[in-house]
Amino acid sequence: MQQPTKNGIDSSSGASASPTRESEAPQFPEPKPTGPQSVGSDGIARTFPEVPMVDVMGGASRTQINVLDHGFIALVDCMPRLVPQGQTADAAIVQAARVSYGHGTKKVNEDRGLIRYLLRHRHTTPFEMVELKFHVCMPIFVARQWIRHRTANVNEYSARYSILPDRFYTPNLDQVRKQSSANRQGGEELFRVHDDAQELKTAQDFVKYLDDVEGFYQRYLSLTEQGVSREMARIGLPVNMYTEWYWKCDLHNTLRFLSLRIDSHAQAEIRVYAEAMLKLIEPLAPATIEAWRDYDVGSMHLSRLEIEALKSLAAGGSGTLTSDNSRERLEWASKVEKLGFRL
């Protein structure tokens, strides 16, 4: 039988490696129990908390916000679920950052400072120690944008196995948007349905178009009743139908999702889901969300060219961006305005 060395290396493998002296072996601290400990007859040591534990979801099995006309987003579980009284899920981030076995520091303000340091310097792994599980009902076109964030575990309602419910997203007349002239993939300006007869008619035509599409649902049901397979019958359904899924993601990648989807450039229909998601998770990790607002979603990224232009502006120069790309120059002008300068 092969015998491992004291350092866990197989001595019979034939590998020609210099033995590591015991004094040179890495020294790891022994795990320290954080409360009373007992060993059961099964040989498992169980440590019990020193202080009462509380549910970060306040004892609720589900917290939900309704979105759009038939949709919703619900937080159904998270990790950690139980934390020491007086703390939040932020404690798990601090614990992971310190590679500790206890509750981290004893002072919440010290934990807050560490969290802010981690996020400010993009040390992201500790934020992956918090996980969030959502149940979401959204239009299929929203789901297809959402699934582009490939860092979550997803299980979606299957129209191969089940009939899709009769739920369609239809915006109000005053929510119909025009195609943006500056952004090929977005719509920004709303149709003026209250003071322009032609634009009102166009918006009405669009809503009528959605009504006509929704009318095909009864044909979908009829065809399945006549024996057409569900996996075939579904292929004619429109993307404004609602689907559902369970979506589980760690906090770091959830914040990345929110940074992109809460932005003003995101499509309005997915943005309202992101805003609802943020409202659900903020009480769970308030120090992390505060730091994320300060250092990510509320911050401003400057390129090398923009830094040079800003230096020029501060020195009394023109502050012109040295780029022949008109989009870059427009973005720079927007940033300058936000900073309170004028070109």
Measured CA to CA in angstroms, residue 157 lies from 150, 210, 342 at distances of 18, 23, 52
Q: Is 62 a catalytic residue?
A: no
Alpha-carbon distance of 130 to 78, in angstroms, equals 7
Nearest to 254 by CA among 145, 165, 152: 152
Integer CA distances (angstroms), 270 to 136, 147, 260, in order: 12, 12, 10
- CA dist 260 and 265 (Å) reads 8
Number of residues assigned to the chain = 343
The strand pair at 53-55 and 177-179 is best described as unpaired
Please identify which of the residues 81, 148, 261, 304 carries the catalytic annotation.
261
Q: How far is CA 157 from the centre of its chain?
A: 20
Residues with a catalytic annotation lie at: 261
